[in-house]
Amino acid sequence: MQKSLASDSGTSTIQPYFTFLPLFLMSGHVVVSKLKELVNAEGLRMAGDFGDGVDEELVKMVKRACWRAKENGRGTVQKRDI
């Protein structure tokens, strides 16, 4: 069901959230299209499984940063935890 933004004219509608999802291809936590832009800017192509590998490394890095923040008695993860 769509919600109308205009009073009764029905000219403007909000699309359901799920219709926008195909605009990005996600590999877990990484937006693959943005990753591909970075790789292409270096003049290289990107293999299909590269996004998964970057995602795995990102998860490790974030978990380590969270551990470090906790060890230092902080409730906020900061850049210095990376």
For residue 27, what pLDDT is reported? 66
Confidence band, pLDDT 50/70/90 cuts, at residue 14: low
pTM: 0.64
Domain ranges of the chain: 3-81
Q: Rounded to a whole number, what is the largest CA-CA distance in the chain?
A: 57
Going by C-beta distance under 8 Å and a sequence separation of 6 or more, which residues neighbour residue 82? 61, 65
Average pLDDT over residues 11-38: 67
Q: What is the DSSP letter of 44?
A: -
What would the pLDDT profile of 41-71 be if each residue is shown by its tens digit?
999 999 999 999 999 999 999 999 999 999 9
Mean pLDDT across the chain: 80
Q: Which residues pair with 31 in a beta bridge?
A: 26
Q: Is 65 exposed, middle or buried (0-12, 13-18, 19+ CB in 10 A)?
A: middle
